[in-house]
Structure 1
Amino acid sequence: MNQLLDHILACRTQADYYRLAIMAECNAVPSDMAVLFRHMDRLPKESLEWAERTRALMFAQADIVQPFRRTLVSSHVAFFTTRQAPDEPRDLILACCGLVDRLQVPISVVLQHLDGRRFDVLLVRDPTRRIYLQGVPDYGSDLRLVAERIRRDVNLDAYRSVCSLGTSGGGWASFILGSLLGADRAISMSGKPPGLTFRLARMWEKQGYSLDKDNAGFGVFQQLFDSIPDPSTRLLAFFGADYRDDREGAEAFEQMVGAVGIGFRGIDTHNLMGTIVERRRLATFLDYYLTGDLGKIVPPAGQRTVELDSFDQPGGRPGTAAVGEQHAPGGA
């Protein structure tokens, strides 16, 4: 029995269950969740639906648990790896969470859909809900300082490639950090430049911050990007083609920093990652777009909306064997 189950059994109110679910979705690795799933019969009804939903998402494409381990780098930065030997060749994903400290789906779901033999993940969060406009608390007060700290904490030269990926409010941070660190590519999922979203601006204004697009929104993003000498990182902005707000966000990225917008037809929701998981495509999407040949994966101009299954056939991760010994409990 793991600590997560113990904490669930100690909950007394609906608010307790809700807070614990958020904590687990933001921190638990696949093996933590797999242990919990073995005790579904002990879960109270307040947690059962959440656990069943998370299990379905985790094992949408693979039933062998990816054995990632989590190490805290600072209070809001975590490193995930399955590495057994220091000289194993690896690719690094720098992941920038959105407003709710996740990548639109629980962290365990994203890790479970990665090939643990290939990828390490450095996950950053801004729990202040200022979407990185003041950096990452206790790590760097702006994104340039965050990038400098990452260079000190992680030997980027040891990796075959570096890719950044950010969801929603972390999309623009992915573009800036990826470019500052010389990543091969930087990906935004349902992201938009800060200052574009009226709802967020209103929320920040209520907290006493002035965030009109001329100073702390568009201005910060454009100034940061323009200050990067000769950026070579390829910027990819993914969005649901039928979701207007995110389509406009991708268009803004195209106009401001030359990103390539790629829309998935038939998707009309902001939660692009969740939709890709539910359609059993996340593992193949990540394999294809994180390290695939950019010359092949970027659609030609004028053809920037694609079908979600255009990059692979249905089923599991192509050409790879799952890592680890644990299988999905409960027949998921």
Structure 2
Amino acid sequence: MTKRTEFRVHWPDIAPQIQALSTDAQLPQAIALLQETLELDAADLRRTDVSHVPDARLVRHVKETERLARLHLRLKEMPAAHQTIRAALAFAAQTGQTVSPWIMLAGLMLERKDTEASAILRDAPELSPIELRHLTQIAVDAGAGAAGEILAHRVLTTQGPTQTFYALLLEARAIHDPDTLLSKIAQDIADGLITRELAPVVRTAARQGAITRAQHAEATALLAQKWPEDAALARRAKALSAPGLELRDDIAPQEQVQQMLDNARRMNPDDAKFETRTRMLERLAASNMYRRVISDPGSAEVAFSPKVEGGDVLLRFAGLAEPGKLHYLDAMAAAAGLNAIYLKDPNRLFFCNGLPSMGGTLDSTIEGLRAKIAEYGEGRKVTVLGSSAGGYAALLYGVLLGADRVISLSGPSTALREVGDTIKDRRVRAILHRLEQHTTPESRDIRLQIERAGYCPQLDLVYGENNRLDRAHAELLADLPQATLHPIKGFDGHNTIAYLTDNGLLLDVLRGDMSGINSVAAART
């Protein structure tokens, strides 16, 4: 009979090795060694009557599991950190041990017990600076907005202002109580919580959907008042509050383009977009225009361009941070001979719940759009376009409407957090939490929709070659025979629609010609 070989972890030998590896450069090795050691220790404990195991050994197992969670958090490996925290809590419960206060709080937040976690935090438990920082990340990731707001505020007031934690504070507020965001930003300015160095965070929050465009404009105006000597802030505040160009709708299409060109030529010649914008409009001015350009639709959820008899149809879905000024895009649609329908989601839910003005559900909005498309006549080809979050909507509605073609510009292909976690996409978490509360999983993943519909249109997926997350989302659909990936060489930005517009490529893309995407040198947008 072969005698069973047992292994017992000797932590005094292992712990120094793990500690030595716990530098930023060697964290993955430290995690691998600690995880393997914990698995061996757990296997040995399962072979033992726990009642005969010294408390010190059980306590050590809990503490080392907590250490593993901290190492995962240092690498921002949030799913692994969550799993490890749950393992520490489960082991402690099974063996009658207690966990550290920060692990207990993390467990509450992972279970979405935001109110309970917030109440404990208001009693100001003793937490180290690193525990405060870890808990803030966990709170925002888990959707515990109230607790996250308390934690982020405490980090900023006790450890000094940083862009990372002011961004987390805004995300937590967007999850907890988005209607109070602007008043709280104003209070932050009055209290000195937000410094001049933190002002760019407000712009980033707008791009990621944590605050609305209106909130962004008002907050930027407040920041510009606080620091009038900051020329960049002043320019941004002016641009955000400026009304759109009032295009005349009683003149010929070519005259409208000339009006746009004259306006562009009044830009500062030193502006980075001056040359590319005027060159693009000069090309349009020389093009045949099939109809007039749309007047500014303002805040309308749905707007229709003037009609081109016999023209194909373009549906355009706005992204979270797009300004809604449609003149440039619609001028190109007019030059391409397209009837355009412009859509904007006031709820900022990736259009997954449809539009309030079209019934307030995804199904009713699809039916409403199908009826509108039918009004253009039989046999019209339908192209669906969107950028960023609008790119996701373009994919979703393109599948459900049975469109001929979808152009997704740096659009995500999923809004399921478990899929996003696999590519380490931590963006728009406030929006994702709202999506989870108000939409179905099927509406939040394009592959699921394609499988359910049994149909996939032609997919043109355009993204910056050097933008890791946009590339990863496109590659999630790369195996579909209908999908063609169009990486823009050398480009690492997310604002792909601005890149195509300013480099004179969007008109060709609307016409179905994708060959020019890599023909010009990429510039950061």
Q: TM-score, normalised by structure 1?
A: 0.64
Determine the structure 2 residue equivalent to 1:200.
Answer: 428
Instruction: Tell whether 2:311 aligns with 1:90.
Output: yes
Determine the structure 2 residue equivalent to 1:118.
Answer: 337
Amino acid of the structure 2 residue aligned with 1:146: T
Structure number with the bigger relative contact order (C-alpha 8 A, sep ≥ 6) is 1
Instruction: Map 1:140-289 onto structure 2 (within 5 A).
Output: 140-154=359-373, 155=375, 157-192=377-412, 193-195=414-416, 196=420, 197-202=425-430, 205=433, 209=434, 211=436, 219=444, 221-228=446-453, 230-254=454-478, 259-289=483-513
Instruction: Tell whether 2:305 aligns with 1:80.
Output: yes
Amino acid of the structure 1 residue aligned with 2:283: Q
How far is the alpha carbon of 1:81 from its aligned partner?
Answer: 2.6
Question: Is contact 2:386–2:392 with CA below 8 Å preserved after alignment?
Answer: yes
Amino acid of the structure 2 residue aligned with 1:189: L
Which of the pair has more CA radius of gyration? 2
Question: Is contact 2:301–2:344 with CA below 8 Å preserved after alignment?
Answer: yes
Instruction: Tell whether 2:275 aligns with 1:56.
Output: no
Determine the structure 1 residue equivalent to 2:11.
Answer: none
Q: Which runs of 5+ in 2 are unaligned?
A: 1-224, 226-233, 521-525
Q: Please give the per-residue CA displacement for 1:236-273, whole angstroms capped at 9, x wherever unaligned.
A: 21111111111011012336896332212121111112
More helix, by proportion: 2
Counterpart CA distance in 2 for 1:116 and 1:168 is: 24
For the residue of structure 1 that corresponds to 2:512, the secondary structure is helix
Amino acid of the structure 1 residue aligned with 2:409: M
Counterpart CA distance in 2 for 1:16 and 1:276 is: 25
Instruction: Tell whether 2:486 aligns with 1:309.
Output: no
Question: Is contact 1:135–1:141 with CA below 8 Å preserved after alignment?
Answer: yes
CA 1:188–1:41: 2 relative to 1, 3 Å: closer
CA 1:215–1:308: 2 relative to 1, 3 Å: same
CA 1:146–1:256: 2 relative to 1, 3 Å: farther
Counterpart CA distance in 1 for 2:246 and 2:342 is: 10
Give the number of aligned pairs.
270
CA RMSD of aligned residues (A): 4.3
Question: Is contact 1:68–1:116 with CA below 8 Å preserved after alignment?
Answer: no
Question: Is contact 2:257–2:284 with CA below 8 Å preserved after alignment?
Answer: no
How far is the alpha carbon of 1:191 from its aligned partner?
Answer: 0.5
How far is the alpha carbon of 1:216 from its aligned partner?
Answer: 5.1
CA 1:97–1:235: 2 relative to 1, 3 Å: same
Counterpart CA distance in 1 for 2:315 and 2:456 is: 17
CA 1:156–1:178: 2 relative to 1, 3 Å: farther
For the residue of structure 2 that corresponds to 1:130, the secondary structure is coil
Amino acid of the structure 2 residue aligned with 1:77: V
Question: Is contact 1:235–1:260 with CA below 8 Å preserved after alignment?
Answer: yes
CA 1:249–1:38: 2 relative to 1, 3 Å: same
Q: Please give the per-residue CA displacement for 1:77-108, whole angstroms capped at 9, x wherever unaligned.
A: 1111353xxxx3211111111112458xx421
For the residue of structure 1 that corresponds to 2:244, the secondary structure is helix
Q: Which runs of 5+ in 1 are unaligned?
A: 1-12, 291-296, 298-305, 311-332
Counterpart CA distance in 2 for 1:130 and 1:274 is: 22
Counterpart CA distance in 1 for 2:319 and 2:247 is: 14
More strand, by proportion: 1
Instruction: Map 1:35-46 onto structure 2 (within 5 A).
Output: 35=259
For the residue of structure 2 that corresponds to 1:133, the secondary structure is coil
Q: Please give the per-residue CA displacement for 1:166-194, whole angstroms capped at 9, x wherever unaligned.
A: 11101121112112222111121100122
Counterpart CA distance in 1 for 2:508 and 2:265 is: 32
Q: TM-score, normalised by structure 2?
A: 0.43
Question: Is contact 1:70–1:78 with CA below 8 Å preserved after alignment?
Answer: no
Question: Is contact 2:396–2:449 with CA below 8 Å preserved after alignment?
Answer: yes
CA 1:33–1:223: 2 relative to 1, 3 Å: same
Picking from 357, 369, 389, the partner of 1:138 is 357
For the residue of structure 2 that corresponds to 1:231, the secondary structure is coil
Counterpart CA distance in 2 for 1:218 and 1:26 is: 37
CA 1:223–1:54: 2 relative to 1, 3 Å: same
